[in-house]
Amino acid sequence: MAKYLGFPKIPRIDQAAMKKTLQESARAIGTDIISAMSQAFSNQETNTDISVECLIVLKALADALPPYNYLSASELAYKLRMTEQRLQYFLDSLLEKELIHDRLVSGQLPTYSLKPEGRKVLFERHFI
């Protein structure tokens, strides 16, 4: 590599400092979205039946634009920087409360969309 870049020898890389910087950056990226939305949602008057994380999932579904009104768990997990297992817990809770709809197609993973009741919850909290 040094030969192609025109360096007389390979420059020394501080691997510990590089690893620390990468870990801090990755941590910041993963928490920025959730912490910002958590703070915004917690500043609002909230119903104790709906957790902050559930509200975040509702908002992500509300932001899904046509023709992609339906999002899979993996798409949502990626968007929210959350594990699919953790997300599934919140999806199950929202399905139980009838705030979201799941679409089951043979041979495919389920996809989820916002029901009018879920949109109303977000509207009442001034998030849409």
Q: Looking at the 3D structure of the chain, how many domains does it have?
A: 1
Q: Which stretches in the chain have pLDDT values below 50?
A: 46-47
CATH number of the domain at 90, please: 1.10.10.10
Whether 8 is covered by a domain: the verdict is: no
User: How much is the pLDDT for 20?
Assistant: 74
Whether 6 is covered by a domain: the verdict is: no
User: How much is the pLDDT for 112?
Assistant: 93
Whether 4 is covered by a domain: the verdict is: no
User: How much is the pLDDT for 43?
Assistant: 55
Q: H or E element: which one contains 18?
A: helix 15-42
User: How much is the pLDDT for 3?
Assistant: 63
Rounded to two decimals, the pTM is 0.63
User: How much is the pLDDT for 84?
Assistant: 92
Residue 5, token pair as written in the block:
């870049």
Whether 84 is covered by a domain: the verdict is: yes
Whether 21 is covered by a domain: the verdict is: yes
User: How much is the pLDDT for 64?
Assistant: 83
Domain span at 28: 14-124
Residue 91, token pair as written in the block:
């999806």
User: How much is the pLDDT for 17?
Assistant: 75
Whether 7 is covered by a domain: the verdict is: no
Task: Give the whole-angstrom CA distance, residue 125 versus residue 98.
Answer: 18
**3-state secondary structure at position 21:** helix
**3-state secondary structure at position 82:** coil
